Amino acid sequence: MEGILPQLLAGIFISAAASLLGVFAILKRMSLVGDALSHVALPGIALALFLKINPFLGALAFLFVSAFGIWILEYRTKLSVDTIVGVFFTASLAAGALFIPELDILEALFGDIEKLTSTDILVSVSLSLALILFLLSVHKKLALHMVSQDMASSIGINSKQLEFIFLMLFSLGVALGIKFIGALLMGALIIIPAAAAKNISRSLRGFMALSVAFGILSAISGVYLASIYNLPPGPIFILSGTAIFILSFISRGIFRR
């Protein structure tokens, strides 16, 4: 048990930050964009491996640039963002798959928490914590913006700026999850706990609290079960999250009629 404590710590914090991001991504109905965005990390990882720098930095750089691209596209073109994201981000998944050395491809796609160094863990925990605190400090504005952009603008909230901030936070969240869960499943780390929480929440506070709780629960079970059965934690995390989602969906059917 002692051996997995650092991983557990990193998993819990990353997952808490991701599931809090998920609340706003779901309010904004951007789960698919978020999922595709996580794939952009792959070419970034490839480049980082090639340059022999930390893959986290490569992923983060590519994510920031793409998020900036989405932000520009949303305001500058008449093309549907969904279409552009669908095309280019799948392309980046393909490019990443092509350029990442075969040895590293599984790790890039699905993460490997065992390879986290103590520096990695320190960085992950502190950045996750910063992300959570920042999200909490702007959560009212964000929620209002996601619910009604018009009303937010009418009281002087700068929508463009807020959207930019959110996309950057989202990118940071995705990059943090790369080592833990990999680029392929990171979108799910963000969306699944929030989707499960939404099933059974009626208030925003409940939604946020439950999403974080589900995220942490999935992270714990992911890391713990993975260490017992010697499996990669990423897929187990997603499966635990999915199990919670199914349970929440069933109980919603029972209690809300």
Partner 1 sequence: MANNEPILKVKDLAVKFNEEKILDGLNFEINEGEVLAVIGPNGAGKTTLFKALLGMQPHDGEIKWRKDLKIGYVPQRMEIETDIPLTVLEFLWLRGSENFSEEKAREAIKSVLLKEEILDSGLGEISVGQRQRILIAWALLGKPQVLLFDEPTADIDISGQESIYQLLHHLQDKYNLTVILISHDLNVVYKYAERVLCLNRKLICFGSPQEILNTEQIQKLYGGGHAFYHHLEKHQY
Other beta carbons less than 10 A from residue 215's beta carbon: 31
Q: Which of 155, 254, 255, 257 binds partner 1 (CB under 8 A)?
A: 155
Shortest separation between residue 39's beta carbon and partner 1, angstroms: 27
Whose Cβ is closer to partner 1: residue 64's or residue 139's? 139
150 near partner 1, judged by CB under 8 A: yes
Which of 64-72, 141-149, 162-170, 173-181 is the region at the interface with partner 1 (rule: CB under 8 A)? 141-149
- Rule CB under 8 A: is residue 19 a binding residue for partner 1? no
Q: Residue 146 CB, nearest distance to partner 1 (Å)?
A: 10
190: contact with partner 1 by CB under 8 A? no
From the list 68-76, 87-95, 136-144, 226-234, the region that binds partner 1 by CB under 8 A is 136-144
# binding residues, partner 1 (CB under 8 A): 21
CB of 80 to partner 1, least distance (A): 17
CB 222 within 8 Å of CB 237: yes
CB of 253 to partner 1, least distance (A): 12
User: For residues 115 and 205, which CB has a smaller minimum distance to partner 1 in the complex?
Assistant: 205
22-81 binders of partner 1 (CB under 8 A): 27
CA 209 centroid distance within chain: 17
Q: How far is residue 113 from each of residues 123, 192, 219, 224, 232, measured CA to CA in Å?
A: 14, 20, 11, 12, 8
Interatomic CA distance for residues 108 and 119, integer angstroms = 19
Indicate the residue among 54 and 153 with the shorter CB distance to partner 1.
153
SS3 254: helix
**Contact partners, residue 91, CB within 8 Å, separation at least 6:** none
Instruction: Please select the residue that binds partner 1; options are 198, 218, 234, 245, rule is CB under 8 A.
Output: 198
**Rounded to whole angstroms, how far apart are CA atoms 54 and 175?**
11
Using CB under 8 A as the binding rule, whether residue 207 contacts partner 1 is answered as: yes
Among 30, 18, 201, 199, which Cα is nearest to 111's?
A: 18
Longest dimension (CA), the chain: 56
Q: Does 246 bind partner 1 (CB under 8 A)?
A: no
The CA-based dihedral angle spanning residues 66, 68, 73, 76, taken in that order and rounded to the nearest 10 degrees: -160
Please report, as ranges, the residues that interact with partner 1 according to CB under 8 A: 27, 140-141, 143-144, 147-148, 150-151, 153-155, 197-198, 201-207
